[in-house]
Amino acid sequence: MIKSFSYLKCLTTYKQEDMPVVYVKTEEEFEEVKKTDKLLLVKFGASWCGPCKQIKPHLEKLSETEDIVVVDIDVDEASESDWTWASEVENLPTFRFIKNGVQLEEYSGSKIEKIQDIVRRVL
């Protein structure tokens, strides 16, 4: 299930089966999403990025995992809102793994095996 952030009030109130891949466009939306105690798998990508499109189905599958919330941030849209953290990304896709507000790991690339390996390590 994929929804935009505007459909969500607070991730911590949703049961796992309702957890979507969450699309955020602003820093304020991301701050709300960060309130969850689950692992955030934050993907920075762009609509024109081929590898970003290829990995999308794998991320949707990961979003069904019990302890993970997948957050998708389009760097082009985020840069329009002057979101510094998103504009610091140099390679697409880039993934940041965050738990309890702390970034645990970062990976740039589109190898799902590498992403799954990092998820296993940080959970």
- Write out the catalytic residue numbers: 49, 52
Contact 34, 101 (CB under 8 A): yes
Contact 92, 49 (CB under 8 A): yes
